[in-house]
């Protein structure tokens, strides 16, 4: 028996009014996959991530996590099942320190956040784990800095730290390097390259350097539907993909 895919969508569809933003998407991520989702602007990539993560409810189709149907689960429910995501635009607690951001996330995973009585600092294992994650992401020197004072590139790392604190089996990275100055983008790249092997990663990215360095498989989304799927070499040689991107004035 083969292992169930870490994440699978079956015939996923969504419309906003008359506009069909996601159409019949079948996507499958094996455990530990390194998968990239690319496509021109407006192709519906973020919508697809929102449908997978549960931020949006699909009109049609299913989302499966480790073979289990999670379509009916809320976003929070899917997180508990091991699906974590980052956001294209930072969604952080800007006034709190980097440490506290991650502590909130770890605490939530451990179910500590329903405790009304015990002091937040009393659970050393929560704090230690947050520190450890921040260490992995080379944020050691910034743990007490308020997020809003952090350079943008490092804020993107905190985004990733928040999701790693969930110990996900599937990680959706929505343009992790978006808005990061090119001088800093290598930090993000290193972190993504060093993600634990057992996590299946789906990355949305415009930067083709990152995509081709990182991905073992690529899916091309156009107008809400899948145009092509294959290894980086296959995608690079695909005439239809080339046409879409050349039509946009981009390059592959």
Are residues 192 and 210 in contact, defined by beta-carbon separation less than 8 angstroms? yes
Q: How far is CA 103 from CA 6, 90, 180, 193, 208, in A?
A: 26, 17, 24, 24, 33
d(CA 139, CA 48): 30
Q: By CB under 8 A, what part of segment 95-154 binds another protein?
A: 95-97, 99-100, 103-105, 107-109, 112-121, 123-124, 126-128, 130-132, 134-135, 140, 143-144
Strands 34-38 and 217-222, how do they pair? parallel
Q: Does 231 bind another protein (CB under 8 A)?
A: no
- In order of 83, 121, 148, 158, the CA distances from 95 in angstroms are 26, 19, 6, 13
Binding residues for another protein, rule CB under 8 A, total 53
Q: Could you say which residues in the range 151-190 bind another protein, by CB under 8 A? A: 162-163, 165-166
Instruction: Tell me the window of 6-14, 40-48, 86-94, 226-234 that interacts with another protein (CB under 8 A).
Output: 86-94
Q: Are 86 and 165 in contact (CB under 8 A)?
A: no
Q: Tell me whether residue 137 is exposed, middle or buried, using C-beta atoms within 10 angstroms of its C-beta: 0 to 12, 13 to 18, 19 or more.
A: buried
- Residue 219 CB, shortest distance to another protein, in Å, is 23
Q: Report the residue number, 133 or 244, with the smaller CB distance to another protein.
A: 133
Which position among 55, 59, 226, 236 is part of the footprint of another protein (CB under 8 A)?
Answer: 55
Does 68 help bind another protein (rule: CB under 8 A)?
no
Residues that bind another protein (CB under 8 A): 53, 55, 74-77, 79-80, 84-85, 87, 91-97, 99-100, 103-105, 107-109, 112-121, 123-124, 126-128, 130-132, 134-135, 140, 143-144, 162-163, 165-166
């Amino acid at each position: 028996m083969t292992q169930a895919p870490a994440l699978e969508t079956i015939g996923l569809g969504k419309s906003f009014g008359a506009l069909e933003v996601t159409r019949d998407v079948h996507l499958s991520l094996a455990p530990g996959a390194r998968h990239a989702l690319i496509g021109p602007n407006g192709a519906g990539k973020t919508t697809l991530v929102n449908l997978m993560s549960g931020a949006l409810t699909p009109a049609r189709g299913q989302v499966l996590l480790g073979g289990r149907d999670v379509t009916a689960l809320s976003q929070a429910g899917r997180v508990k099942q091991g699906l974590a995501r980052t956001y294209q635009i930072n969604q952080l607690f800007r006034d709190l320190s980097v440490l506290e951001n991650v502590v909130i996330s770890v605490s939530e995973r451990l179910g500590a956040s329903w405790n009304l009585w015990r002091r937040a600092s009393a659970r050393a294992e929560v704090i230690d784990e947050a520190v450890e994650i921040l260490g992995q992401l080379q944020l050691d020197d910034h743990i007490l800095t308020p997020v809003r004072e952090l350079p943008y590139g490092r804020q993107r790392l905190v985004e990733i730290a928040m999701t790693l604190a969930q110990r996900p089996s599937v990680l959706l990275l929505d343009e992790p390097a978006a808005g990061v100055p090119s001088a800093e983008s290598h930090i993000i790249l290193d972190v993504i390259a060093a993600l634990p092997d057992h996590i299946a990663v789906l990355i949305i990215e415009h930067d083709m350097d990152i995509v081709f360095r990182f991905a073992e498989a690529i899916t091309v989304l156009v107008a809400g539907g899948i145009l092509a799927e294959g290894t980086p070499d296959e995608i690079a040689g695909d005439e239809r993909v080339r046409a879409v991107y050349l039509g946009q004035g981009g390059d592959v």
